[in-house]
Structures are given as structure tokens and as C-alpha cells.
Amino acid sequence: MARISVFGIGYVGVVSAACLARDGHDVIAVDIDPNKVDTLNAGRAPIVEKGLDALVSDTVGSGKLTATTDTDAAIRDTQASVVCVGTPSDPDGSVGLGHVVSVCEAIGRALAGKSDFHSVIMRSTIVPGTMEEVCIPTIEAASGKRAGRDFGVGYFPEFLRESTAIEDYANPGLIVFGALDETTEAFLTDLNADLPCEMNKVDLRTAEMVKYTSNSWRAMKISFANEIGNIAKANGLDGQAVMRILCSDDKVAMSPAFLRPGFAFGGSCLPKDVRALRHVARSKDVPTPLLDAVLDGNTAQIGRAEDMVDAASTKAVGMIGVSFKSGTDDLRESPLADLAARLIERGQQVQVYDPYVSEAFEMDPDAAGRGNDVVPDLSARMETDIDALIDSSDVIVVGNAYPGVATRIREAADRKRVVDLTRIDPGLVSGDGYQGICW
């Protein structure tokens, strides 16, 4: 078991401290407010949370949990510190780091007088880059020590929900953390080893981003459910019943396949159905800011891809895929067809490799197809040989994945510019010649 100091006896801090103590660790809770310290030392929780009073009483009574205002003593008597101070919004909407900076300075001053290695682990919600650009420099300046060498650094965001925080701590839906050093990573690994959840070990910035992504995703789901509920009610329907049925579908509606950053959506269903639902809402004078943003964002993603191709400063463009997704010849509202048309209009020489669309043309050369009229002279632009397409192109735009394409792209990435809209190979990341749209 470990000796841990928890800085901040607020909501997250006191729940974390009590749960750590319950799990057998020796915990010192630290706060500048003597009233919170006295309350905790008296065996009472300074906040209202289901089950917390009993847990604090038990852990304080057993001697596993104590509280203090003395930062130096807390650092001296523990091997790791977990920071759980608040980060309220500043007036301009940015994250407020006043409490974070103050506690980092205090910890740094205390570390200056400690010879043993000590890990500093942030749990406060901070935007990507804050650990590297604010927290670490602040601690280093105050301590005169080097992060990763003289003291450890980690970022370990929490996902506790008020009213179920203790249950969430014991049975989390998500564990993610980043560490600058092996000692801190091993500490966080041991801390979470017995929890029934996968551990995602990442860099500091990714861990910071996951926290904001999680909170924004939850907020968006609430707004989406409310928007659907408003539309449903305006049409005499029960919005909660609609959403309850939707959430029962874990094959499509709740599938992670639709939460994979990449290119715009298209096809014969999603674009028209979002527009139709928005029209239904407008006919009842129900505003749809989220549905409006869905369509605007989708259009913007096509524009983003267009700008990426244009930045390659080339004339010959080879597109891999033109249908709205792999495995079909359907071009109805295909964002790839839209992109091809835009590039052609800008004077680019566009050739296309799409085995399914090629097959459709072979079966009926004179057929207009399903949306084929979007791309001028599409049949003449089709190339059935992937190697020929790559060799004749200055930039390759990967829109769909087909058998054998990943190998060809890996081989071509060193000599051709590649704009990847689908992530043909997880091992490829954006660099000089290769650019992924979202990675």
C-alpha cells in the first residue's frame, strides 16, 4: 500500500481521499481552508455525497485518513501527491488555473527540501498542454528540480459523477492516465490494478484531451436528447420513449464505429434524414441548433479535405474511393464525389480508383448510376489499376479502404504526397508527405 497526499478537499478530492483510504492506502488530505481540515479530521465529510459520511467516518476512525493545512509535512510524509483543486472558467471562457498554479508552487517549494523521489499527479480538469506548459514549469521553478528525473509527473483525470461518485470510483467506465516517468506510471498502474476496467496508458496531452472529450460528449448527448424530445413533443410523441428505444440498439446507434474521426458522412440515408427531421422541427417552430451544426460540420469537413489537397500544390490527383463508403457503388450524396467535383472545378486532374464503381460501369457503361452525375465524366476518370493510379498522380487522396490498398499506400508514402481521409494504416501519422485529416 502507498502513502498518498491529496491536495484539495473539494468534491473530487474528498471522494478520492476517502476511497484511497478505504482501499488501504495511508492518505493525507491537504487544503488551505482550516474549516475543511477540521471537519474531515472530526470524521465528517465537508460535502454531501451518498455514502461519503460513513466512508469518511470509517477511514478517519481507522487512522487511514487524516487532514492538514501543512503542505511541507504532507509532501515529506508521502510518496505521491494527487492534485484535485478546482478549475473554474475564467471570464473569457478559458480554464481558470489560479488554484492549479498555487498548489503547484506550494508542492514545488516542499519538494525543494525533500531528497526522496516524489510523484505529482494531477486529477484536476485541465486543457491539453497544461501539464507541459504550466504545471511542470511551475513545479520545476519552485523546486529547482527537473521533472521526470528528480520528481515524477502524471495526469490521471477522474470521471466521477455526483451522487454516484463512490460507486464510480470502484467501478469506473474509463481509466486513462499519462506519466512522464516509469516510477509514476508504475504507481498509477498499481493504483488501478484491481479495478474492473481497461487501463489506457497514454501521453500527458492525450489524457488531458480525453477528459474534455468525455465531458463535451456527455453534454452533447444531453442537448441532442433534448432537441429530439422537443421535436417529438411538438409532434405529439414521447421523446423519452423514442430515446429509450434508440439506446437499446448497441449494434448501430450506440456503435463506436460512428465515433471514429475521419471524413464526412454521406449516402442515401444520413444527409437527407437529418435535413428531413430538421424540416419537421421547423414546421412546428422548434429550433434545431444541434441538427443545424451536424450538417454545417459535415460540409466543413469536406472543405477541410479540399484545403488539404490544395495545400499539396499539385495538378494530378489520384482518389482512392468515390462512393460514399467501401463495399458499394452508391454515390448518392457521397462526400468523396463532392470532393472530386470541387477539385475538378478548381482545375485539378482527377483520376479515381474504386473497384465497386468500376464494376458498376462495366455492367452497364451507359448507366447514369446512383449519383454518378456529380463528378464530371466520371466513367472516363476511372482507373482499375491501383499501381497505375499511384504512379500517375502527384497526390493520393485515400477516401475508402479496399483490399491491398494499405500496402500500396505505405510503399508510396515516401515518394508521393498522401491525404488520408479514412486512416488506411494506423501506423501512419501526419508528417511532411503524409497528412491524415484528423490525426
Q: Please tell me whether residues 29 and 173 are part of one structural domain.
A: yes
Q: What are the catalytic residues?
A: 269
Q: Please tell me whether residues 167 and 56 are part of one structural domain.
A: yes
| The predicted structure's pLDDT at residue 381 | 96
- Asked if the structure places residue 187 within a domain, the reply is yes
- Residue 339 annotated as part of some ligand binding site: no
Q: Give all strands (DSSP E) within 295-347, no chain letters.
A: 316-320
Domain boundary among 159, 174, 202: 202
- Asked if the structure places residue 343 within a domain, the reply is yes
Give CA angle at 205 (211, 117), nearest 5°: 105
Domain boundary among 202, 232, 265: 202
- Asked if the structure places residue 253 within a domain, the reply is no
Q: In what order do the strands lie in the sheet with 434-436?
A: 349-353, 316-320, 395-398, 417-420, 434-436
Q: Please tell me whether residues 160 and 304 are part of one structural domain.
A: no
Q: Please tell me whether residues 198 and 313 are part of one structural domain.
A: no
Q: Please tell me whether residues 150 and 24 are part of one structural domain.
A: yes
- Asked if the structure places residue 248 within a domain, the reply is no
Q: Please tell me whether residues 164 and 301 are part of one structural domain.
A: no
Domain boundary among 147, 168, 202: 202
Q: What cell numbers appear for 60 in the block? A: 478517519
323-357 pLDDT per residue, tens: 999 998 888 899 999 999 999 999 999 999 999 99
For residue 399, the domain's CATH number is 3.40.50.720
| The one-letter amino acid at 251 | K
**Helix crossing, 11-22 with 52-61: angle to 10°?**
50
111-164 pLDDT per residue, tens: 999 999 999 999 999 999 999 999 999 999 999 999 999 999 999 999 999 999
In the chain, which stretches have pLDDT less than 50? 368
- Asked if the structure places residue 264 within a domain, the reply is no
Q: Please tell me whether residues 317 and 198 are part of one structural domain.
A: no
- Structural domain of residue 180, as residue ranges? 3-202
Q: Please tell me whether residues 184 and 307 are part of one structural domain.
A: no
Q: Please tell me whether residues 310 and 192 are part of one structural domain.
A: no
Q: Please tell me whether residues 193 and 306 are part of one structural domain.
A: no
Distance CA 82, CA 110 (A): 14
- Residue 260 annotated as part of some ligand binding site: yes
* 199-202/316-320 β-pairing: unpaired
- Asked if the structure places residue 233 within a domain, the reply is no
- Residue 371 annotated as part of some ligand binding site: no
- Asked if the structure places residue 404 within a domain, the reply is yes
- Residue 40 annotated as part of some ligand binding site: no
Instruction: Report the number of distinct structural domains present in the chain.
Output: 2
Q: Please tell me whether residues 23 and 135 are part of one structural domain.
A: yes
- Asked if the structure places residue 409 within a domain, the reply is yes
Q: Please tell me whether residues 186 and 66 are part of one structural domain.
A: yes
- Residue 266 annotated as part of some ligand binding site: yes
Closest to 371 (Cα-Cα) out of 385, 354, 387, 384: 354
| The predicted structure's pLDDT at residue 373 | 82
